[in-house]
Amino acid sequence: MADRPRIVGIDLGTTNTLVASVRNRIPKIVPTDRGNLILPSVVALSAKNDLLVGGVAKDQMVTNPKNTLWGTKRLIGRKYHSKAVEDLKGYFPYDIVEDANGDTAVTMGGKLYTLPQVSSFVLSQLKTIAEQFLGGPIDAAVISVPAYYNDNQRNAVKEAGRLAGFDVKRIVNEPTAAALAYGFNRGLDQKVLVYDLGGGTFDVSVLHLAGNVFEVLATGGDSFLGGADFDNRIIEYVLERFRDETKVDLTESPIALQRIKNAAEAAKIDLTLIPNVVIDLPYIEERKGKPLDLRIPLTRDYLNNLTGDLVDRTFDICDRVLAEKGISRSEIDEIILVGGQSRMPLVQQKIQAHFGKAPRKGVHPDECVALGAALLGDSLGSIDAVTLLDALSMPIGYAMPNGRVKRIIEKNSLIPMVKSFRLPPPQQPGAQFIELDIYQGDSDLMVDNEYLGTVRVPAAAAGRKIDFRLTEECLLQVQVEDASGMSRKVDLATRDTPEQLKKALQEVASRNTPAAPSSSSGPSDDRGLFSSIKSIFRRG
């Protein structure tokens, strides 16, 4: 058994998760304990306090919605007070809470779980499945993430893998993994566009394939555009129709909502193959002792009307990504579809109309990411290993006193890379420390970007070289030159989230007076927060 695979590839999806292995250079999906190729990304606590993962957890979504966790990939690696989490809180039936670090967490059975913990339960289940199927221990994995994930989210996924018992060899972008599955060992020389519309996110990447060199030319996406948003349009339509017909509002019934959610997803899938369906849910509610049935027809054409703007948003992103690199649509040789939502007939019709060519049919949209991740894992350390030249999806920089971000690493920079600059002096004269708040995002305003952490070094370090180093996994490392000229790694401190900064700025602006000095008894990191605010109004 010397050729037994030791590294697996994992596609940790919003809706489903897959694991693949390579034997004799051929990647294959590992079937789950139920014989399926996909494991639902669902974790639950049963009435007997048993932890359930996958299909058995999904089975109890209707009867136990408060203790069934799904769609958590949309929340992982995000601060609790971020706008993204605020917008999602009402969408899930389970409780979303804040952990001790200010990160988003969830509760099941009255116990708090971090989101890396939740994902680790899914990954642990996959580890067990793979070890049983492959006949031996699996020590390592390559795990895919959306290309548009920021540094916090990537680190959270890597932590989930570690908690599950994996040595995570690489974090790889999903579109890059899909392109690898398509082009590995085929000797191609093409520009391909990977259109990845999954359950929770949309990514688009343009790659140049030259033999086994895969170079990402441009990438972009939307981490809140996916199949779940298409489901939501159907759910809203069904709720409105039922309310109009019966004067009954089902939004206050978690069990009814979960039944409608499941039926909406099933109807959407059916409409990829047939033009008409009926969403039929007997005994959805009871009024005055009488059962109420829900029976609402839905056509493919009406679904297209409900969701056409979501599909159009994906092409706005595609055009923006192409424009950023000056690539014309006609230069694209192949379009690869990834993600279950890309099966929608409207999506494929609009791709043909938009790009003037049909998408490639030979790549399985559900399996290709896991297969590509497995191929990458299998090639690590090999003489003929594939070469991935990936790119940064969102720029990284540090906050200026005026609330704007000075970009250090631009979007679409090839990774791995190092960008060096000189440390500026402290923002406040006489301050003992230099504090750089690091942000990642497309906006020029710090409050609209994702806060990654704070570099905090003695004021004497002003003028010394500081390196922003992006690893091949697109993870940020910071190194600062010390007095002897040697570089040393700096751990990022944390402080308030961008939303709290924004609130503080607005409060100060409403008073139109300088912010009062913070108490010396508070944490030292909080002083840096308000020094930025004070600087804004001193300049004014």
> What values do phi and psi take at 49, rounded to 5?
65, 25
User: What one-letter code names the amino acid at 491?
Assistant: D
Name beta bridge partners: 171.
143
Q: Which backbone phi and psi does 77 adopt, to 5 degrees?
A: 75, 15
Nearest to 12 by CA among 300, 501, 370: 370
Amino acid at 144: S
Rounded to an integer, what distance in angstroms lies between the CA atom of residue 102 and that of residue 155?
16
3-state secondary structure 186-213: CCCEEEEEEEEECCCCEEEEEEEEECCE
Catalytic residue among 151, 159, 174, 435: 174
The residue to which tokens 């409409």 are assigned: 271
Among the listed residues 103, 159, 196, 437, the single catalytic one is 196
User: How many other C-beta atoms lie within 10 A of the C-beta of residue 187?
Assistant: 9
Cβ-count burial 472-506 (b if 16+ within 10 Å, e if not): ebbebbbbbbeeeeebeebebeebbbbbbbbebbe
Q: Name the active-site residue from 11, 229, 265, 435.
A: 11
DSSP per-residue letters across 247-283: ---GGG-HHHHHHHHHHHHHHHHHTTT-SEEEEEEEE
CB–CB of 338/195 below 8 Å?
Answer: yes
**Tokens 């494929």 sit at which residue?**
348
Q: Is 73 considered catalytic here?
A: yes
Q: SS3 letters for 31-79?
A: CCCCCCCCEECEEEECCCCCEEECHHHHHCCCCCHHHEEECHHHCCCCE
Query: Any catalytic annotation for residue 331?
Result: no
Q: What distance, in Å, lies between the first and last C-alpha atoms of the chain? A: 71
Tokens of 401: 């006193």
522-to-193, 295, 453, 518 alpha-carbon distances in Å: 50, 59, 18, 8
Strand partners, 407: 397
Catalytically annotated residue among 73, 169, 411, 534: 73
**196 is known as an active-site residue:** yes
The token duo for 189 is 């020389």
271 and 303 Cβ atoms separated by less than 8 Å: yes
Contact (Cβ atoms closer than 8 angstroms) between residue 533 and residue 504: yes
At CA 181, angle to CA 122 and CA 170, rounded to 5? Answer: 50
Query: Quick check: is 50 catalytic?
Result: no
- Phi and psi for 269 in degrees, rounded to 5? -65, -45
Which residues are tagged catalytic? 11, 73, 174, 196
